[in-house]
């Protein structure tokens, strides 16, 4: 067949070198298909970081509120203990024991025998003073206490007046109140702070 073009042989015989190269290529493709990679992709990393940032941003205000509530609670618990101490000292010594309070954000209170004292002046209160730590963000206010003091009388531990002292988170409504009864009994309540009965 002189005028017809030669047909290509579809079954061309491969040399040993070409056959080995094709087998290695197919083997490499199989290895790539079954190979597992350890680690994370960039997309997975970005998603994980985004979730972490969102959780952090949500938890920061809750943590700040928790710290502020703890500060108010600690300040109120300390005053409660000081009032209990003053009452017990009055009965023990059979004399009047005064607790003088200075209100506001730079609050303080002191304990003294037989008279009021100025807790802002060093060594003015004979049985001790407590001052607001710096940056506590708490304020102290009183209600019903004449001239911001209370005394417990020595014979029975009764208070001279009934009133209250309230610690409040600065700029918020969270507070803890100590109610002082006329017979010297003390009760605590709170608004927006857990662990106490509501006021």
Q: What string of pLDDT tens digits covers the 199 residues of the chain?
A: 455 555 555 566 666 666 666 666 555 555 555 556 678 888 989 999 999 999 998 888 888 888 888 889 989 999 999 999 999 999 999 999 999 998 888 899 999 998 889 888 888 888 888 888 765 788 899 998 878 899 999 888 999 999 999 999 887 888 999 999 999 899 999 988 888 899 8
pLDDT tens string 178-199: 999 999 899 999 988 888 899 8
Residue ranges covered by each domain of the chain: 43-191
DSSP string, the chain: --SSPPPP-SSPPPPHHHHHHHHHHHHHHHHHHH----S--HHHHHHHHHHHHHHHHHHHHHHHHHHHHHHHHHHHHHHHHHHHHHHHHHHHHTS-EEEEEE-BTT-EEEEEESS---TTSTT-STTEEEEPPTT--EEEEEES-GGGEEEE-TTT--BSS-EEEEEEETTSS-EEEEEE-TTS-EEEEEES-TTS-B-
Instruction: Identify the pLDDT of residue 38.
Output: 77
Domain 43-191, CATH among 3.30.457.10, 3.30.70.2740, 3.55.40.10, 3.40.50.740: 3.55.40.10
């Amino acid at each position: 067949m002189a005028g017809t073009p030669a047909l290509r042989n579809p079954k061309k015989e491969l040399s040993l070198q070409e056959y080995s190269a094709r087998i290695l290529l197919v083997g490499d493709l199989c290895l790539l298909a079954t190979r597992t990679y350890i680690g994370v992709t960039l997309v997975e990393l970005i998603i994980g970081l985004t979730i972490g940032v969102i959780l952090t941003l949500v938890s920061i205000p809750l943590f700040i509120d928790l710290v502020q509530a703890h500060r108010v609670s600690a300040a109120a618990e300390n005053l409660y203990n000081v009032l209990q101490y003053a009452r017990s000292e009055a009965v023990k010594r059979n004399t009047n024991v005064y607790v003088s309070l200075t209100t506001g954000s730079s609050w303080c209170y002191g304990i003294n025998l037989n008279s009021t004292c100025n807790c802002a002046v060093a060594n003015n209160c004979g049985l001790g003073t407590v001052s607001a730590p710096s940056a506590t963000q708490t304020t102290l206010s009183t209600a019903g206490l004449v001239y911001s003091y209370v005394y417990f009388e020595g014979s029975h531990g009764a208070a001279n007046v009934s009133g209250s002292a309230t610690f409040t988170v600065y700029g918020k409504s969270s507070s803890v109140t100590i109610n002082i009864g006329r017979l010297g009994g003390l009760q605590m309540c709170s608004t927006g702070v857990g662990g106490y009965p509501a006021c």
